[in-house]
Amino acid sequence: MKGGVGKSALTVFLADFLSSQHEQRILVVDLDPQGSTSKALIPEATIEKAFKQGRSVTTLLRLACNGGVSKEEAESCLLLRESGGKPRKGSVPLGPLSVLATNRDDWRKFTEEINSLQPTERWKFLDVLKDSLAPLADDFDIVLIDFPGSEIFYWTTMGLRATDRWLLPEIPDFLSVSDIESVVEQVQEAQKNSTHTILPLGTLLNICPNRSSGTYSKARAALIRLQDLNAIPPLFSKDSEVLHRPEAQKATDWGSEASKTLVARYGPATKPFHVGLRKLAKEVLERLGKSSDKDRLSVVANIRRKLRDYWRS
Ligand SMILES: Nc1ncnc2c1ncn2[C@@H]1O[C@H](COP(=O)(O)OP(=O)(O)OP(=O)(O)O)[C@@H](O)[C@H]1O
Ligand SMILES: [Mg+2]
């Protein structure tokens, strides 16, 4: 949920690897009005055309607010990335995937409408994303939800209440790591008055520089302490960490699109970056099969202060 830690990049990488290499049926839900995830997966012209036809997250949410969504209605809001494309030698073709994109103007309008409601009324609409996705449950194996960078109460809470498991992306940087407390609070807040439990999936270090750097080791050590307190989801293995690589940026920055995304463009690769992402996708799948209600996280007080101490020690 924090800005610039690679939420969108990781969503794109996981969508690509899980659909192309593991044949998972993937739906990507882009809750960020900037739409960087959608634009990395679907050509911008296709997205614009879809918005003109009213195919977006907000259309789906409005239907849910007005009494319910049928499977056909939900499916008609999705944008499809076809499979295929010419892979590089030794690579695999892109897997198909679906994207639920956010129309910025409509996002703003919808947010204003929700904000104009009385708090007691607003509460009723917190589960509309969950309700909107329910009719699609049989169509997909995994739904990846990308969150906006700053906390926008309604969207963050609504998004979290639609999730079964959360992945915490981190970068080895003190300010980013110390922001964990507010992220954990948001997850706890979203579960209030809900029977729904959001289970931890994992904490992932992204944009890792040289692993011999002091900042990297301090960040990892601090995260391990928090993981041992059961305050954050368990770290993914070191092999699954995502390195700081220019190709990561190329694959996810604005203007890139379906034909250029990671698997097709950079091939099978023995490159450490690729090997890491492959390992990550595999580990994600393993964890999805494993988590259980017993794995609920503990409420740990003063995370921020503890982190400062860990960081210094
Ligand atoms: N492993 C990586 N190596 C190099 N650059 C990366 C890596 N992961 C992400 N980036 C780049 O870092 C920037 C921030 O990443 P990204 O947009 O995915 O973050 P975010 O958490 O989604 O940000 P926001 O909060 O704005 O939505 C982007 O320019 C992206 O291309
Ligand atoms: Mg983003």
Residue 176 contacts residue 37 (beta carbons within 8 Å): no
Q: Whose CA is nearest to atom 13 of ligand 1?
A: 4
- Please report the pLDDT score of residue 94 as a whole number: 78
Q: Which atom of ligand 1 is nearest to the CA of 249?
A: 31
Residue 190 CA to residue 177 CA, distance in Å, equals 21
Q: What pLDDT score was predicted for residue 293? A: 64
**Tens digits of per-residue pLDDT, 225-250?**
999 999 999 999 999 998 888 878 77
pLDDT at 259: 46
The phi, psi pair for 177, rounded to 5°, reads -65, -40
Strand partners, 105: none
The average confidence (pLDDT) of the chain is 86
pLDDT tens digits, 43-92: 889 999 999 999 999 999 999 999 889 999 999 999 998 876 666 666 67
Question: How much is the average pLDDT of 151-157?
Answer: 81
What's the confidence (pLDDT) of residue 164?
A: 93
Quick one: pLDDT at residue 258? 46
Evaluate whether 140 touches 25 at the Cβ level (below 8 Å). Answer: yes
Residue 115 C-alpha to ligand 2 middle, in angstroms?
23
Q: What is the CATH number that goes with domain 7-312?
A: 3.40.50.300
Do 84 and 35 touch, CB atoms closer than 8 A? Answer: no
Q: Best substitution site from 2, 8, 253 to test ligand 1's pocket, by max atoms within 8 Å of Cβ?
A: 8
- Is pLDDT above 80 for 138? yes
Rounded to the nearest angstrom, the distance between the alpha carbon of 253 and the centre of ligand 1 is: 8
Indicate the pLDDT class of residue 20, thresholds 50, 70 and 90: confident
**In the prediction, which pLDDT does 256 show?**
53
Domain boundaries, the chain: 7-312
DSSP-assigned states of every residue in the chain? --TTSSHHHHHHHHHHHHHHTT---EEEEE--TT-HHHHHHS-HHHHHHHHHTT-SHHHHHHHHHTT---HHHHHHT-EEEPSB--PPTT--PBPPEEEE---HHHHHHHHHHHHTS-HHHHHTTTTHHHHHHGGGTTT-SEEEEEPPSS--HHHHHHHHHT-SEEEEEE-S-HHHHHTHHHHHHHHHHHHTT-S---EEEEEEE-SB--TTSHHHHHHHHHHHHHHHTTSSPPBPPGGGPPB--HHHHHHHSTT--GGGSHHHHH-S--SHHHHHHHHHHHHHHHHHHH--GGGPPP--TTHHHHHHHHHH-
Could you tell me which residues are beta bridge partners of residue 27?
98, 143
In a 13 Å sphere around the CA of 238, the CA atoms on its Cβ side amount to: 10
Report the C-alpha gap between 190 and 161 in whole angstroms: 6
- 0.85 surpassed by pTM: yes
Q: Model confidence over 79-131: pLDDT tens digits?
A: 998 876 666 666 677 788 999 999 999 999 999 999 898 888 888 889 999 99
Q: Is 250 near ligand 1, meaning CB less than 6 Å away? A: no
> Does the structure show a pLDDT above 50 at 255?
yes
pLDDT at 309 over 90: no
Q: Which pLDDT does position 85 carry in this prediction?
A: 66
Pairing of strands 142-146, 26-30: parallel
pLDDT at 220: 93
Q: Quick one: CA torsion of 34, 37, 41, 47, rounded to 10 degrees?
A: -30
pLDDT at residue number 86: 64
In this model, does residue 264 exceed pLDDT 60?
A: no
Give the pLDDT of residue 268. 55
For ligand 2, a single-atom ion, which residues have Cβ within 5 Å?
7-8
Say which amino acid occupies 66: N
CB atoms within 10 A of CB 163: 22
C-alpha dihedral sign at 83, 88, 89, 91:
negative
CA of 120 relative to ligand 2 center, distance in Å: 30
Task: Please report, rounded to a whole number, the percentage of residues in the chain having pLDDT higher than 90.
Answer: 49
Residue bearing the CA closest to ligand 1, atom 18: 6
Residue 40 C-alpha to ligand 2 middle, in angstroms? Answer: 11
